[in-house]
Structure 1
Amino acid sequence: MQIMITHGGMSRTRVLHVSPVSVVLSVMALVIATLALSGAIYHYFFLKAAREGWPVVSQLVKLVVHDESAQRDKVMRENLDAMAQKVGDMQARMIKIEAMGDRVSGMAGLKPEDLSGVTRPKGGSGGPFVPMTNPGYNELNGALDALAEAAGEQSDVLTLTESRLLESRLKTLMIPSSRPIDVAVGSGFGFRADPFTGRGALHTGLDFPSPVGTEIHAAAGGVVRTAEMHPEYGLMLEIDHGNGLMTRYGHTSKILVKPGDLVKRGQVVADVGTTGRSTGPHLHFEVLVDGIPQDPQRFLAGPNAKPTVQTAAGNSTPLGAEHR
């Protein structure tokens, strides 16, 4: 870039050569100087005026600062109101969850004393839900802390309820209510004429006539207790279901599990045969409680049935009650 400087008359013309880099540096220097000057003026006049209370300038500064402060307060208030609305919604949902938790825990059989270590004591309370108006930060923080504590309590209650429901379901699975073979019963529980001697004798189980090799299913989940040859039951299988409850499968031709195995309800555990004291192929199925034979038909009535068991003293006790 060339800059020509001329004077009147016969004076000589001067030519200045300026490079682009010099122009850019000059402009940047000018901008920096302008900014520095503006900052100095702002600092000296406006801030000093605000501190010392100059008549005109201080009023302008106060108006600007007040407007900015009001704008910040407005934005903060709007945010706090929005948060308060969300906290109110969460409180309303938590009330519903607590009511639902109380109903579900009651259905699971949990008593108030079972929850004494989980939830806080509850006295009489109620009334309409009134959300907070113009809440502050501390109020919102306190409400969130209360919600977090209530959510933790409900989580513990639901965990305990789930555990109780699973325990109840496990007990149901351990009751022999499934038929080992889906055929009609040939001979029931009770006194009958012995097929070998013709004399009256107690038949301690149910007979399921089926061809040799028919699959036998576990009537409930449990642990295999015995799988051996017996002089009367033939090839015999016994499954322990806990709480003194056991099922026995007699006259089998083959046993597919061994002592100590964990079996599930409906699992194939043996095949029908005619071993031992038997007149033909069938399954002899028994249910015993504390070693006392029970009528299996009462258990096979369905999973919701509550069969009574015969104790050694001759008393009938609902299954699930305490046996001594």
Structure 2
Amino acid sequence: MQIMITHGSMARTRVLHFNRLQLIALAIGFLIGILALSGTIYHVIFLKAAREGWPVVSQIVRLVVRDEFAQRDRFMRENLDAMAQKVGEMQAKLIKLEAIGERVSGLAGVKPDELKQIAPALRRGGQGGPFVPARKPSLEQLNGMMDSLDESAEQSADLFTMIESRLFEKRLEALMVPNSPPVNGVVGSGFGFRSDPFSGRPALHTGLDFPADVGTPIMAAAGGVVRSTDFHPAYGNLLEIDHGNGLATRYAHTSKILVKPGDLVKRGQVVAQVGTTGRSTGPHLHFEVSVEGVLQNPAKFLSGKAPAALPRTTAATAPAAAQSPR
């Protein structure tokens, strides 16, 4: 591209040569200059006119700004209404969760005093009803609603955490109750008085006998900790498992014990094998259950009629191991 510049008829003509890159740079520079000039005019003239109230320019600026503010306000109002509706839906769901939590907490055994500590809002009594949001809720009102919902959600989470803990405790209590048969088979001799097979005189039989072949697996009636694995003249090879809360089970006359003191065992785990050691007339398992050292009828536990949490007793009795099972 060539540009010829002359100053008169007799003057010498000047020729300027521009390539493509130079033309592009000139065009960009021109656009930048136009943008800078327009921004300067807007900020210096229009804004100044709006502040000082110039007759014509200020009215034009106010109309433009008013429309922009109206559109922005309408957009914010629509969003605030949508947020208010969502807040109402969340409040309704939280009210349902609180009602469910109160019912389930009663089933889980959570006391009312503990509920008050978790959720102080429960002290105010029953509350509820449909949520009717303000026709034009402000941003501050929505922030307050959101804070209240956040607090309620934290309280509900704490409540359900406690309920889960209590339900887990109840499950553990049930797992620690010896209500699973230690041997797959029928009971040969029950708990109570009978004729002693050796002397023929009436005597108390302190457990249940499960006739079985030597080597038949013996399973833990519940989870617990192995207390002892000793030999007793009457019980023979004797295994004792502590189930907590004063509950203990004994497995007597075994031919072989497969665990050692201190081992953790779970319900149904094979812990020994049937034998005929000690004071025994033949291969069988003598199974006993005691609470705080007081012998109980194992049939009540195996039938599921024994309570999950047995009360502790203060009765003084002789050690159960001093009895003579047959």
- TM-score, structure 1 normalization: 0.89
Residue 274 to residue 54, structure 1, CA distance change in 2 (3 Å): same
Q: 1:9 to 1:237 in 2, by over 3 A?
A: closer
> In the alignment, which residue of structure 1 is the partner of 2:88?
88
- Which residue number in structure 2 is paired with residue 108 of structure 1? 108
Name whichever of 73-82 and 15-24 sits farther off: 15-24
Quote the residue 2:124 is aligned against: 122
Letter in 1 for 2:71: Q
Residue 14 of structure 1: how far off its partner (Å): 6.2
Structure 1 unaligned residues grouped into runs of 5+: 308-317
Map of 1:249 onto structure 2? 251
Distance 2:206 2:292 in 1: 14
Quick one: which of 308, 312, 320 aligns to 2:310? 320
CA distance in 2, matches of 1:101, 1:159: 10
Structure 2: distance between partners of 1:134 and 1:16: 68
Q: How many residues align?
A: 312
Cα offset, 1:41, TM superposition: 2.8
User: What's the counterpart of residue 299 of structure 2?
Assistant: 297
Provide Cα deviations, 1:213-260, integer angstroms capped at 9, x if missing partner: 000000011111110110001000111112221111000000011111
CA contact (8 A) 1:254 1:270 kept: yes
**Alpha-carbon distance in 2 for matches of 1:75, 1:19:** 50
The 8 Å contact of residues 246 and 312 in structure 2, kept in 1 or not, is answered as: no
**What TM-score do the two structures reach when normalised by structure 2?**
0.89
CA deviation profile, 1:134-182 (whole Å, cap 9, x unmatched): 2111111111111111111111111111111111111111111000011
Q: Residue 205 of structure 1 corresponds to which residue in structure 2?
A: 207
Partner residue in 2 for 1:68: 68
Contact 1:88/1:132, CA 8 A, preserved across alignment = no
Q: What root-mean-square deviation, in Å, do the aligned CA atoms of Structure 1 and Structure 2 show?
A: 2.2
SS, match of residue 243 in structure 2: strand
Q: Is the 8 A contact 1:244 1:289 kept in 2?
A: yes
Partner of 1:39: 39
Match of 2:239 in 1: 237
| % identity of equivalent residues | 65
- Alignment of structure 1 residues 209-228 onto 2, 5 Å: 209-228=211-230
Runs of 4+ in 1 over 6 A off after TM superposition: 5-14
The question of whether the paired residues in 2 share the 8 Å contact of 1:227 and 1:236 is answered with: yes
- The 8 Å contact of residues 217 and 266 in structure 1, kept in 2 or not, is answered as yes
CA distance in 2, matches of 1:192, 1:62: 109
Tell whether the 8 Å contact from 2:173 to 2:309 is kept in structure 1 after alignment. Answer: no
Distance in 1, matches of 2:241 and 2:12, equals 125
Partner of 1:186: 188
